[in-house]
């Protein structure tokens, strides 16, 4: 299989501060990574597609200035929630499809629980 890690696993911050979440592919390269948010007892909502070497592609309704995405290398993408507010509290999950023959699925990170006070 392929492993995707996220850091931190949980974070609590004050309203108005910024929070950075890291997503790493540990044993494969990923030119593309995906960021999702998940509210309690709901499905995953795709926020944006992170592209190595180019700008991220945001889904409709997602504020790109609010959720900054940087795909720094072939194994690392970061999501920064800027000026966080309580309504940004959620479970954020990243995923990546391995660029390998025979792999059509995405592998998911363990998620980051963000709580904004």
Residues lying near other proteins in the complex (CB under 8 A): 4, 6, 32, 34, 41-44, 46, 49, 91, 93, 95, 97, 104-111, 113
Whether 93 contacts 36, CB under 8 Å: yes
Shortest distance, CB of residue 25 to other proteins, whole angstroms?
A: 13
Which DSSP category does 106 fall into?
-
Shortest distance, CB of residue 83 to other proteins, whole angstroms?
A: 26
> Which residue, 16 or 27, has its beta carbon nearer to other proteins?
27
Whether 4 contacts 27, CB under 8 Å: no
Shortest distance, CB of residue 94 to other proteins, whole angstroms?
A: 8
Q: Which two tokens stand for residue 74?
A: 């072939």
> Which residue, 26 or 46, has its beta carbon nearer to other proteins?
46
Environment class of 93 (CB within 10 Å of its CB; exposed 0-12, middle 13-18, buried 19+): buried
């Amino acid at each position: 299989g392929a492993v995707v890690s996220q850091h931190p696993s949980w974070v609590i911050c004050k309203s108005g501060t910024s929070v950075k979440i890291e997503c790493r592919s540990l044993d494969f390269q990923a030119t593309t990574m995906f960021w999702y948010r998940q509210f309690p007892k709901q499905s995953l909502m795709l926020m944006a597609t992170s592209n190595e070497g180019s700008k991220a592609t945001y889904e409709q309704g997602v504020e790109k200035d609010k959720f900054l995405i940087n795909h720094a290398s072939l194994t690392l993408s970061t999501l920064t929630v800027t000026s966080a507010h309580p309504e940004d509290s959620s479970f954020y999950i990243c995923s990546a499809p391995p660029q390998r023959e025979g792999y059509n699925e995405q592998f998911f990170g363990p998620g980051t629980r963000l709580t904004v006070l």
